[in-house]
Amino acid sequence: MESKDVIRRLNKWYLTPLGKSLYEIESYYLNKLLPNFFGEYLLIEGANNDFSFFTLDKIQNTIYLLNDGLENHSRLIFVRAEPYELPFYNDCIDGVLLSHLLEYSENPYLILEEAFHTLVPNGKLIIFGFNPFSFWGLINRMNKTKNNFVPWGGRFMNFCRLRSWLLKLGFFIVGYETFNFKLPLQNRYFLKCCGFIDKIGKIIFPYFGGCYILIAEKKLLALTPLREKAIKKQVPLGACARPSANLIKHEE
C-alpha cells in the first residue's frame, strides 16, 4: 500500500468514534508539547486532519507531507514527496512529527534516517505509534488482511526496536509514554463512559497502552551554522511523489 493511500485511509478512520477518541488524546499531548516548541520549520508526516495545533505563533512555518486536496493556508506549506526521500536540505528542519506512519512503511528505518538528516542539531522528533503490547496489538496480530485494513493492518513496532534504531542514527531519547488503555471498540458510549480506565492503566500497567508517544532529540554538531531556506524550491501539490531532480540535497 502506498504512503498516500495509507494516510488517506487513516484520516478517514480518524472520523470514526474510536479514531476521534484517539485524536482527542493525541491532541492533548500536542497541546502540551507544541506551545514550548521554538523553531522556524515544523514538518508533519502521517495522518492528521486538524491544522489548528500547528499554527502557533512560536512556529513560523509548518510543512505538511503527503496530503491531497488541501487548501492553501498563509502559514502552512504542502509538499508531496515520499517520507524516505524528502526534498529538503540537511540540517534545516527544527521539528518532525511522525503520526502513525512507521507502521505502514516497508522500510521504517529509512524514514527515521531521512528525518535525522533533515533535522537541525538538537532538533526534536515526535513519534505517534500503535503499541504491539496492548489490546490494540493483539487485534493487529490476529488480523489476516494486513495490507488492506487500517489501522490494524500495519506492523506495530515496539519501543526497544525504535530505541535501537534511533540511538544508532544519533538520536537521544527524551521521553516515552503509552496511553489509550481502553478496549479498541467502535462504540461511542463505551469510549465516553470508560475514561477512568486510562487513569487506572497509567498506574497499574503504564507500558501497555494501545498507543505511544516517543520524543527524541538529534545530537550532532552543525557543520554550517547558517541556512537560507529550508526548501530550495516549493513542490506543488500536483507534482509526482518522487522529488524532482532540481531539489538537490547536500551529500553526506
pLDDT at 114 over 70: yes
pLDDT at 249 over 50: no
Q: Which residue has the higher pLDDT, 8 or 248?
A: 8
Q: Which of 75-79, 82-86, 173-177, 214-218 has the lowest mean pLDDT?
A: 75-79
pLDDT at 65: 82
Segments forming the whole domain that contains residue 106:
3-218
The CATH number linked to 103 is: 3.40.50.150
In-domain check, residue 223? no
In-domain check, residue 77? yes
Q: Which residue has the higher pLDDT, 161 or 183?
A: 161
pLDDT at 96: 93
Q: What span, in angstroms and rounded, lies between the C-alpha atoms of 30 and 248?
A: 32
pLDDT at 238: 37
End-to-end CA, the chain: 30
pLDDT at 193: 78
Grid coordinates representing 133? 503490547
pLDDT at 112 over 80: yes
pLDDT band at 237 (very low <50, low <70, confident <90, very high): very low
- Could you report the per-residue pLDDT of 128-171, keeping only the tens digit for each? 999 999 988 888 888 755 555 778 888 899 999 999 999 999 99
Per residue, what are the HEC states of 215-252? EEEECCCCCCCCCCCCCCCCCCCCCCCCCCCCCCCCCC
Q: What is the mean pLDDT of residues 75-86?
A: 81
In-domain check, residue 182? yes
Helix or strand holding residue 171 (H, E): strand 171-179
In the chain, the percentage of residues whose pLDDT exceeds 70 is 73
pLDDT at 49 over 70: no
pLDDT band at 74 (very low <50, low <70, confident <90, very high): low
Helix or strand holding residue 11 (H, E): helix 3-13
In-domain check, residue 229? no
Antiparallel, parallel or unpaired: β 76-79 and 93-99:
unpaired
Q: What is the mean pLDDT of residues 39-61?
A: 69
pLDDT at 113: 96
Q: What span, in angstroms and rounded, lies between the C-alpha atoms of 32 and 35?
A: 7
pLDDT at 221: 59
In-domain check, residue 250? no
Query: Using DSSP, how many helices (H) and how many strands (E) does the chain show?
Result: 7, 7
The domain total for the chain is 1
In-domain check, residue 115? yes
Rank 5-9, 149-153, 200-204 by mean pLDDT and report only the highest: 200-204
pLDDT at 3: 62
In-domain check, residue 243? no
Closest CA to 170 of 230, 245, 239, 222: 222
pLDDT at 53: 53
Q: Which of 5-19, 114-128, 144-158, 231-245 has the lowest mean pLDDT?
A: 231-245
Is the whole model's pTM more than 0.85, yes or no?
A: no
In-domain check, residue 68? yes
